[in-house]
Amino acid sequence: MTTLDRVQTHTLEDLVTERWSCRAYRDGSVPHDTIVQLLELAQKAPSWCNTQPWEVIVTEGEGTERFRRALIAHASDRDSTPEPDIPIPAKYAGVHLERRRESGWQLYEAVGIARGDREASAQQALKNFELFGAPHAAIITIDTSLGAYAALDTGVYVANFLLAAHSFGLAAIPQAALALYSPFIRDYFAIADDRSVLLGISFGYPDQDHPANSYRTNRAGLEQVVRWVND
């Protein structure tokens, strides 16, 4: 597929409307050249002073399988405690808690987990560390010294990555969960001390028939997020 074909078949509206976080994948690696094209598109992201503070480690083939095995073993170990490089929210409240709950319940309902079934929800959460069965992971780090704006710049990069993946007929999921075990990831991939693990993105070909991919999340109406000022 050429760039022109891709633009003709996917408008931005299609891409942002159709993209979703994919939590089950078909077997089959993405061709290396396609991943390179995807990364080239993501790389077009703007950043403050054009610093491009992101760096990406991409796994393929046995590189993914070995990482998956090591990560799930680490996450399942009772002695492993979350130590994210970037602090995670201490708590969710108000509308944020409501939205978080709604999307969680949508997932549980789709995969048949009853509300309050802690064991089943814990098992579902562990699938993060199996990379949801994806054939590839992208581990994204930022230059720690650039602070919050490096994370903001890299969020733009992540959005480009997700939309680019969708434009190639792939699916992906951003996963802050992978950054919970930042020291493990840093050690595993020999990441320099001056970088922070921001998140991972698992990606590949979607299993469209899997229940985890059967629902779509909602969005707040503009009246909830936009304040107009005109006098």
Ligand X SMILES: Cc1cc2nc3c(=O)[nH]c(=O)nc-3n(C[C@H](O)[C@H](O)[C@H](O)COP(=O)(O)O)c2cc1C
Helix H or strand E segment including 172: strand 171-175
Distance between CA atoms of residues 53 and 75, nearest Å: 28
Chain residues 122-161 in contact with ligand X, contact rule CB under 6 A: 128
**Closest CA relative to residue 173, chosen from 220, 222, 140, 221:** 140
Place of tokens 């089950």: 24
- Of the two residues 3 and 123, which places its CB atom closer to ligand X in the complex? 123
Place of tokens 């304040």: 227
Distance between CA atoms of residues 200 and 173, nearest Å: 8
Site for ligand X contains 58 (CB under 6 A): no
Site for ligand X contains 71 (CB under 6 A): no
Q: Which stretch binds ligand X (CB under 6 A): 60-68, 87-95, 142-150, 175-183?
A: 175-183
Contacts for 156 with CB less than 8 Å, ≥ 6 apart: 45, 46, 47
Site for ligand X contains 217 (CB under 6 A): yes
**Closest distance of CB 228 from ligand X, Å:** 26
**Closest distance of CB 205 from ligand X, Å:** 17
Site for ligand X contains 84 (CB under 6 A): no
User: Residues 139, 142, 173, 201: which binds ligand X (CB under 6 A)?
Assistant: 173
User: Residues 43, 80, 103, 121: which binds ligand X (CB under 6 A)?
Assistant: 103
